[in-house]
Structure 1
Amino acid sequence: MLDLAVRAGNRVKREVIGRVGPARELSQHLHRQRLRRYEPFVPTLSPQRAEVVATLREEGVCVSTLDRLGLPGTDRLQAGLGALAAATARGATPGSDTSRPSLDDVLAESDVWQWGLQPELLDLAEAHLGLPPRYHGADVRCEHATARTVGVRQWHRDMEDHRMFKILVWLNDVDLEGGPFEWVSRRHTDRLVRELAYVTGFVGDDALRRRVPEDEWRRATGPTWTAVVADTRAVFHRAMPPVRRDRGSVTFTYTSRTPMTTVPVPPVTERQRELASRGLDDRQLACLPRAFTR
């Protein structure tokens, strides 16, 4: 019930900010102020990682690989993801569109959960967001080849914050029939927002096709360990419905610590708090949702 109330409140807030001019201008003004105040503290990145951020700002999506990102702990991350993917497959409900491991299972694989909190990755997220990041965890999932266009398999933008930072990693080879990440350019997205008077929710294939030719829809196919770095507010996107092969993935998500809307967090047990925060330094702890540090 609490989660439903939070979601309903978020929708109202997005509608007000999106459709009421003074509310929208105030939200944007406060965000610009925060960016200006924090600009001297934004981390300096290596040229290779600065290029990732530049591509995000320009295109909204940067398709890479875990190897090219070169982040510490990747070998341990891959081993932990392999174990979680196998457990997810074993526990899949017949006929379901999506399967996930439990939060307990994810937290128990500390090399997966805490990979998203390593300093080099926090620097990358912070450089794009322009503000201290909030880490929303590792979402391990299997999208089953049901071909159904449901949930995040529909076109949408993530509207939790002014900027978003996500890294999606493929846990198996993904081709056009295996449910790749699909998006349209920032240029098309900006036009669509105006033409559709878009604030929140899903957009159908036909509505999108009438405004953006399908040959301009972009797809992030690739082998296992392909990494899709995306600002999922900046572009209309979806998980393309898999039709022949399941798609395993993990998504690491970041917003600022002053998002536009509340990101729901399910009730957390003391054991989960312990696993989520074990061995973290002050900066890492500050990035966790408050439910994990109370």
Structure 2
Amino acid sequence: MESGNHDDSNEKIPQVYTVTYLPEFATWGSEKRLINIIENYIGLPIIFHGVHLRKDFPNKSQFGTQLWHKDAEDRRMIKIIIYLNDVEEKQGPFEYIPASLTSLFRLNYYRTYYKLWQSGHLGITDEELNEIIPKEAWKSCTGSAGTVIIVDPKKAIHHGTSRTEHRLTLFSCYTSTSPERPEVCTQYRDNTFPQPKLTEPVSNSAI
């Protein structure tokens, strides 16, 4: 993946590869026991959309997925995040708000939803969220390489924190077989992001 020095004051977009068609990722993501766990949570037949390999670069300003947001693929969904390097505060860990603090019948639900609506659902800043939910309640997921995070990113408002060192991750996506926004799900299989260059071609029939 791309390397080099990047000014951490710039908005450096992450580098993303689609690795869904590599047999190792396809086999792991489709493992029966894992599918059963996710299907039990979602409560419907599910589909494994695929895997992204992602490198996030140093960045001090909040933009993109560093803003607090909710994902939109489906009404209920699962994403699995795997850290490929040790992630401490300087690498920008995944951070979320416990769903109990923004449940439907709490004032925080309407306050955060209104802020997200004002942003065009692009996301809100740390300062804006801190006015609603104090920073002491935010949950940061630091961990060593190999750490696995399983989250419903539609239910929990979340983001990746600002970082001074790069972070490498895998993102796997699961929804029901009839997702609310199927057009958003195609990025795990189509040409939205490049596939890694291989010494031998991999057939799309791998999954």
TM range (shorter): 0.7 to 0.9
C-alpha contact 1:149 1:241 (8 A) present in aligned 2: yes
What is the TM-score when the length of structure 1 is the normalising length?
0.57
Aligned residue in 1 for 2:102? 189
SS at match of 1:235: coil
Which structure would you say has the larger Rg? Answer: 1
Aligned residue in 2 for 1:213? 134
1:224 and 2:145 aligned = yes
Aligned residue in 1 for 2:62? 149
Shift of 1:107: 4.5
1:132 and 2:36 aligned = no
What is the TM-score when the length of structure 2 is the normalising length?
0.79
SS at match of 1:115: helix
Count the aligned residue pairs: 184
Which has a greater percent of strand? 2
Aligned residue in 2 for 1:289? none
Q: For 1:141-290, what aligned pairs fall within 5 Å after superposition?
A: 141-190=54-103, 191=106, 192-198=108-114, 200-243=121-164, 245-264=165-184, 265=186, 268=190, 275-278=203-206
Computed over aligned residues only, the root mean square deviation of the Cα atoms, in angstroms, reads: 2.4
Gap runs ≥5 in structure 2 = 196-201
The answer to which structure, 1 or 2, has the higher relative contact order (CA under 8 A, 6+ apart) is 2
C-alpha contact 2:70 2:157 (8 A) present in aligned 1: yes
Shift of 1:260: 1.7
SS at match of 2:140: strand
Residues 1:166 and 1:107: Cα distance change in structure 2 (over 3 Å): closer
Residues 1:216 and 1:178: Cα distance change in structure 2 (over 3 Å): same
Q: For 1:58-77, what aligned pairs fall within 5 Å after superposition?
A: none
Shift of 1:173: 0.3
Equivalent position amino acid for 2:77 in 1: M
Equivalent position amino acid for 2:176 in 1: S
SS at match of 2:163: coil
C-alpha contact 2:94 2:159 (8 A) present in aligned 1: yes
Residues 1:114 and 1:157: Cα distance change in structure 2 (over 3 Å): same
Distance of 1:185 and 1:268 partners within structure 2: 33
Distance of 1:189 and 1:137 partners within structure 2: 29
SS at match of 1:207: helix
Gap runs ≥5 in structure 1 = 1-87, 281-294
Aligned residue in 1 for 2:199? none
C-alpha contact 1:107 1:275 (8 A) present in aligned 2: no
Which has a greater percent of helix? 1
Distance of 1:254 and 1:93 partners within structure 2: 34
